[in-house]
Structure 1
Amino acid sequence: MNGSRGFTLMEILVALAVVGIALAALLGASARATRDAAELRDRTYANWVAQNVLTEIRISRETLETGTQRGTEVMGGETWQWTADINAAAVPSLRHILIHVGRENVEGSIVTMSAFRLTQPQMEAPIVPNAPGERSPGDDENPGGDESR
């Protein structure tokens, strides 16, 4: 050997193999992180759709009958399909609501949400405070606010 400095072909191949393995591991981790972020985004949007559907059912003033309701909703630029299965509960005045949400035209659901609601809404008309300038009954009793009167 002539004592020249430099790397042999074998050293270069080993170094390239080590770099290749490290890059493959990094790409795999990056792909997993991207897939996990997309799945989390989808679960978040599907959860919001389920909460919206449940809120609409809860605030409805109609009697809640057993059966299935279906619909679609746009959330996050995507169309989501939902199904609300409404079943009788152990208590006759309650209904069990099971909401399934998934991507439109894709089999299976991403999120399932469960809740209960009375068959008849209990709230009558909402209580609205007096509009500015209107007087409530009893306002005339002490108009100045002076306790000595």
Structure 2
Amino acid sequence: MACDHGRHRQNPRASSRRAPGCGRPMSKGRTLSRNGTLPSRYAVERIHGRAKRGFSLVELLVALTVLAVVSVTVFARGGDTLAQLHGLEQRTLARWVAENEVARMRLDRETALRAGSRSARVDVGERSWRVETTLRATDHDGLWQVTVEVRPAGASSAGGVANGAVDTLVAFVGEH
């Protein structure tokens, strides 16, 4: 390796960062071997202890364990999301059924309002619902408290909201 600037040193091995026979430093990161040539890639990897090899069995097992834990967590969260989506859909439909029942009572002027309970079956959202309506008199004449409980058609009505009612709506209806 000769240099083109013309200043040569007497001892080419005086500095490992200089080209043979030259006083100028070489580019960074390159080291010369004893005979003044660049070492092979294998020699550099061997010197630095980084010989090319594959993953060890332990590294592979750790990677697979991490992947398994992450996969289980992701799938569990996905299942929870689907369950929440189903519950949200059911509560929304039940609320619509309850609001429809209260609106029906407000619009039906031909039937007189009187205290008591009644039960009906309603189909909404490709599902059957059982609607239980309770009418109570209030302290004000002509004003009634309406409690509407909505549950799936196959659910038990014993025990109220805690036992199968998806939604309960309390509203007030007047006779005027």
Shorter-chain TM-score range: 0.7 to 0.9
Runs of 4+ in 1 over 6 A off after TM superposition: none
Corresponding residue number in structure 2 for 1:135 = none
Q: TM-score of the superposition, structure 1-length normalised?
A: 0.75
Deviations 1:24-72 (A, max 9, x none): 1101110111111111100110011111111111111121000011111
How far apart, CA to CA, are the structure 2 residues paired with 1:79 and 1:113?
A: 18
Corresponding residue number in structure 2 for 1:83 = 132
Cα displacement (A) at 1:90 = 1.8
Segment of structure 1 superposing worse, 16-25 or 104-113: 104-113
How is 1:17-56 mapped onto 2 (pairs within 5 angstroms)? 17-56=65-104
Corresponding residue number in structure 2 for 1:105 = 154
Secondary structure of 1:105 counterpart:
coil
How far apart, CA to CA, are the structure 1 residues paired with 2:67 and 2:169?
A: 47
Corresponding residue number in structure 2 for 1:70 = 119
Tell me the number of residue pairs that the alignment of Structure 1 and Structure 2 aligns.
118
Secondary structure of 1:87 counterpart:
strand
What RMSD, in angstroms, separates the aligned Cα atoms of the two structures? 1.3
Which structure 2 residue ranges, 5 or more long, are not aligned? 1-50, 157-163
Computing the radius of gyration over CA atoms, which structure comes out larger, 1 or 2?
2
